[in-house]
A and B are shown apart, each in its own frame.
Chain A
C-alpha cells in the first residue's frame, strides 16, 4: 500500500490524570476525507493540536508523507502544507476580511521580509486572495473588519484562511460549530467541493454532515481509537453504537 499522507504512530498525551490521547495510530490516505468523531472531551482537539504542532505528544511519532515531523514547530508544519481551522474562531478581528485572507496567502508566497512595497498591491498576493474570497462567498464583505462579521461569516472566514494557503492536508476542528442550519448546509457544500482535491481530517458533531462527507471515519473514545472504517462499517459497528452513536440518537 502507498504511504499514507499522514500517519501517527502510538501517539500518547496526558494532562495530569486525564489520558487525552491513548496509543493512537491514525492513517489518513492522500485524497480522502477522514472524519474523527467522538463525544465531548474524547480528545479530538488534542489530536489536532499535536498534528499541527501546538502541543507536543508525550510519546509517539507523527509522519507527513513519510517524513517525521514530530519535532517541527507549528509554523514549519504549516509551510509543509498542513493547515488547520480552529474550533473556537480565531481570526484577525482588527483586519479587514480581505487582509485576513491575504495574510494566509502571504504565509505561502515567499518570505515576508519585504519592508517597502505595499502588501495590498502585491500582485503575487492579490490574485489568490480574491480567489479565496470568492471560494467562501464573502466578496461583498471584503472591506469589513472581521470583528463586524456575523458569527456564521466568521466561521466561513476561519475555514477560508485555512484553505487560502492551498494546503496538502486540512485539519478542520468542528467547522460547523454553532452555525445555524443554513450555515451548516453552506459549509457542507464547501467541504464537498474540496473533496477529491484535498485531503482532510474533519472533526464534526453534525452526524448528517459526517456521514455524507467522510470516506472513512475514526471513532475516538477516551483518547483511543475505538474503530476505523467506512461510514457503513461504522454505522453497523455494535461497539460504536453502544459507546457513542447510540447515546446521541
Chain B
C-alpha cells in the first residue's frame, strides 16, 4: 500500500533526523568523538548519492563518472587554499583570481565550476545512450583523474594537504561539531531542493524521459536539453559534496575522481533505493557503516560486503527504501 509506505518512510526519516540532530551529544555521551567525524562523512556521501540519484534514478542516465564532479569541487577548494598557503599567484597571475579560503566565496565558486564541468561533459555524453553513455562518462572522469595525477604542482598522485578548513564568518569550521552541522544543513537543503524539483514540471519531464523517451519526443519535448539540465544540477550537488569532503579530510587527492569512487556512489544509490529521495541517504549510511564495522575485523571487508550487496540488489526491488516500505509501490 503506497499510503502505509509513505507513513513508514516518514517515521523512519523522522527518527533518523532526530538521531542526526542529536548525534554530537550522543557522541559525547558515548565518549566517542570519532562518531562526529564518521557521520559527517556519511552526510557528505549522502549528498553526493542524492545528486547521483537525480540522474540515475529519476533520469535513467547511468553515469559512471559522477565522482569527477565531487573531485572537481574538492580540488577548487584545495587549489585556492594551496595558493594561499604557498603565496603563489593563481594561473601564474594571468587571471585576476585571488587565492582564497573564504567559504562564502570559494564554495559557490566550486559548485559553479563543477556544474559547468558537468554541463560540458553532459553536452557530449548525452548524445549517446545506454552502454555508450556509461562508457563515455567513465572515460571523461578517468581523463580528469589522470589530469590531476599529472599535475605535479598540485602534488600529483599524492594530492594536496590543507592547513585548515575554509573560513566562515561567525562559525568556526575547525570545530568538528560545527562542521558536522554544516554538513547536515547542506544535505537537508539539497534534499529539500530535490523534492521541489522532482515534482515540478521539470522533474516530471526528467521522470518521463527515463521511462519512455520516444513518447516524450512525440509529445513535443526536446528531451536533450532537459537531460542536460538535470545532469548539470547533479554535477552541482556533487561539487558541493566535494567541497565538504575536502574540508572534512583537509586533504584531496586524484583518488576522489577515480571510477571506483563513482562506482561506490552508484552502490549507495542501488543499496538505498533508486529513484527515491531518501533511499540514497540510507544507502550511504548503510555502506559506510558496514565498511566501518567490517574493516575493524578484517581488511578483506569488501569480500564480505560484495555478496551482501549483490543479494540486496537482486532481491530488494528498491533497496533499503523498498524494504522499509514493505515492498510497496510508493514513491519517495
Contacts and interface: CB of A to CB of B under 8 A. Distances in A.
Interface of A: 52-54, 73-76, 78-79, 83-84, 86, 90-95, 99, 102-104, 106-108, 112-120, 122, 125, 145, 161, 165
B218 interface: yes
B272 interface: no
A70 to B, nearest CB: 17
A90 B204 CA distance: 17
A86 B217 CA distance: 13
Contact of A52 (B202, B203, B218): B218
A162 B196 CA distance: 28
B95 interface: no
Contacts of B216: 75, 103
Chain B interface mostly: helix
A165 B219 contact: yes
B202 A112 contact: yes
A112 B220 contact: no
Interface of B: 196-197, 199-205, 207-208, 211-212, 214-223, 226, 229, 329
A95 B202 contact: no
A83 B201 CA distance: 20
Among B214, B220, B226, max chain A CB count under 10 A is at B220
Contacts of A54: 214, 217-218
Contacts of A78: 217-220
A26 B296 CA distance: 75
Nearest to A104: B219
26 contacts: A52-B218, A53-B217, A74-B218, A75-B219, A78-B217, A83-B218, A84-B218, A94-B207, A95-B207, A102-B204, A103-B204, A103-B208, A112-B204, A112-B205, A112-B226, A113-B202, A113-B226, A114-B200, A115-B196, A115-B200, A116-B197, A117-B200, A118-B199, A119-B200, A119-B204, A145-B329
Contact of A75 (B196, B204, B223): B223
Among B199, B204, B216, B219, max chain A CB count under 10 A is at B219
Closest 7 CB pairs of A and B: A78-B220, A107-B220, A114-B201, A74-B217, A75-B222, A107-B219, A112-B201
A161 B219 contact: yes
Contacts of B199: 118-120
B211 A116 contact: no
